[in-house]
């Protein structure tokens, strides 16, 4: 299957990388920045007039937020990666073993497959 559809498998890998970047890097960084600013503002004063102790003190719980958000994001990202891989394998298996018997029209167009032939004899069964 890998030698028959290298382009589709490379697209699959690119999609997984994009999902990894969005979910495992971007989401924890946004959560950490938001948590850090929230911890700084919880003191009640102006952000520009904070002491170095407050700045360092807010970074410790923000780091914990980063770790927790990274673990949760990786959990969700791994599920999406597995789904993308499973769907790709199912589609390629359908194409190679069953001549795309179960493929929809959009999928047939994406793989440059001929349109599905409809037979009244099959519809009666």
Instruction: Please report whether residue 57 resides in a domain.
Output: yes
User: Which residue ranges of the chain lie beneath pLDDT 70?
Assistant: 1, 43-48, 118-125
Q: Return the closest-CA partner of residue 55 out of 31, 34, 37.
A: 37
Q: Which domain holds residue 117?
A: 6-41+52-124
pLDDT in tens, 85-110: 888 888 888 888 888 888 888 888 87
0.85 exceeded by pTM:
no
Instruction: Please report whether residue 30 resides in a domain.
Output: yes
Overall number of domains in the chain:
1
Q: How many helices (H) and strands (E) does the chain have?
A: 5, 0
């Amino acid at each position: 299957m890998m030698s028959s559809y290298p382009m589709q498998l490379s697209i699959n890998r690119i999609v997984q990388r994009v999902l990894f970047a969005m979910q495992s890097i971007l989401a924890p960084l946004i959560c950490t920045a938001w948590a850090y600013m929230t911890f700084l503002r919880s003191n009640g004063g102006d952000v520009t007039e904070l002491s170095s102790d407050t700045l360092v003190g807010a970074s410790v719980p923000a780091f914990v937020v980063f770790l927790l958000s990274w673990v949760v994001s990786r959990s969700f990202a791994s599920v999406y990666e597995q789904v993308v891989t499973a769907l790709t394998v199912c589609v390629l298996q359908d194409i190679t073993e069953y001549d795309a018997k179960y493929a929809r029209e959009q999928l047939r167009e994406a793989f440059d497959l001929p349109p599905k032939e409809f037979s009244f004899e099959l519809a009666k069964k």
